[in-house]
Chains A and B, each alone.
Chain A
Amino acid sequence: MKGAISGTAFVYGANVDTDQIYPGGYLDLTDPELVARHAMERVDPDFVKEVKPGDMIVAGANFGCGSSREHAAVTLKAAGIAVVLADSFARIFYRNAINLGLPLLVCTGIARLVKRGDLLSVDLATGAVINRTSGATATAEPLSAYVMAILESGGVKPMIRKQRGLPVEG
Chain B
Amino acid sequence: MHAVEKILARAAGREEVTTGEIVNCTVDLAGINDLYLQTLRSFAEMGGQKVYDPGKVVMFLDHFAPASTITQADNQKQFRTFCREQGIDLLMDIDQGVCHQVLTDKGLVRPGMLVVVTDSHTTTHGAFGAFGTGVGATDLAIILMTGQLWFRVPEVIRINLKGTLGPGVYAKDVILKVIGTLGADYGVYRAVELAGPLLEGLGVSERMTLCNMTTEMGAKTAYIQPDQVTFDFLQNKKVNLESPGVTTDPGYRYTAEHTFDVTGLKPQLAVPHSVDNVSDITAYLGRPIDQAYLGTCTGGRVEDLAVAARILKGKHVHPGTRFVVVPASKGVFLEAMAKGYIQTLVSAGATFVTPSCAACLGTHQGILAAGETCITASSRNFPGRMGDAGAEIFVASPASVAAAALEGKIADPAQYLGQKEAER
Contacts and interface: CB of A to CB of B under 8 A. Distances in A.
Interface of A: 14-15, 17, 19-20, 23-25, 27-30, 42, 61-62, 65-71, 73-74, 88-92, 95-96, 99-100, 144, 146, 156-157, 160-161, 164, 166
Contact of A96 (B46, B136, B188, B383): B136
Nearest to A19: B382
27 contacts: A14-B185, A19-B382, A19-B384, A20-B383, A23-B362, A24-B363, A24-B385, A27-B63, A27-B361, A27-B363, A28-B75, A42-B384, A65-B218, A67-B119, A68-B118, A68-B135, A88-B185, A90-B185, A91-B189, A92-B134, A92-B135, A92-B136, A95-B135, A96-B138, A99-B138, A99-B139, A156-B46
A38 to B, nearest CB: 11
B13 to A, nearest CB: 19
A42 to B, nearest CB: 5
A10 B127 CA distance: 40
A15 B383 CA distance: 12
Nearest to B134: A68
Given A24-B385, A70-B136, A30 B37 contact: yes
A27 B357 CA distance: 13
Interface stretch (B64-72, B229-237, B283-291): B64-72
B346 interface: no
A164 B52 CA distance: 14
Contacts, number: 119
Interface of B, secondary structure class, is loop
A157 B46 contact: yes
A91 B384 contact: no
Nearest to B36: A70
A160 B142 contact: yes
A156 B382 CA distance: 30
Contact of B218 (A74, A90, A100, A166): A90
Interface string B372-395: 000000001011110001000000
Given A91-B220, A96-B139, A156-B138, A161 B47 contact: yes
B96 to A, nearest CB: 19
Interface in B136-169: 136-139, 142, 145, 150
Contacts of B69: 28
B26 interface: no
A27 B22 CA distance: 31
Contacts of B139: 95-96, 99
A156 B142 contact: yes
A25 B135 contact: no
A164 to B, nearest CB: 6
Contacts of B142: 156, 160
Interface string B353-376: 000000001110000000000000
Nearest to A156: B138
A13 to B, nearest CB: 11
A104 B93 CA distance: 36
Interface in B282-333: none
Given A19-B383, A68-B136, A99-B139, A28 B72 contact: yes
B35 interface: yes
A90 B258 CA distance: 22
B184 A62 contact: yes
B45 interface: yes
B50 interface: no
A20 B46 contact: no
A2 to B, nearest CB: 24
A14 B277 CA distance: 13
A15 B363 contact: no
Nearest to B22: A146
Interface in B21-41: 22, 35-38, 41
Nearest to B359: A24
A90 B45 contact: no
Given A24-B362, A24-B363, A68-B134, A15 B184 contact: yes
Contacts of A28: 35, 64, 69, 71-72, 75
B145 A160 contact: yes
B302 to A, nearest CB: 26
B362 A69 contact: no
A62 B188 contact: yes
A49 B40 CA distance: 31
Given A27-B363, A29-B71, A92-B135, A61 B145 contact: no
Nearest to B41: A30
A91 B219 CA distance: 8
Given A92-B134, A156-B138, A67 B36 contact: no
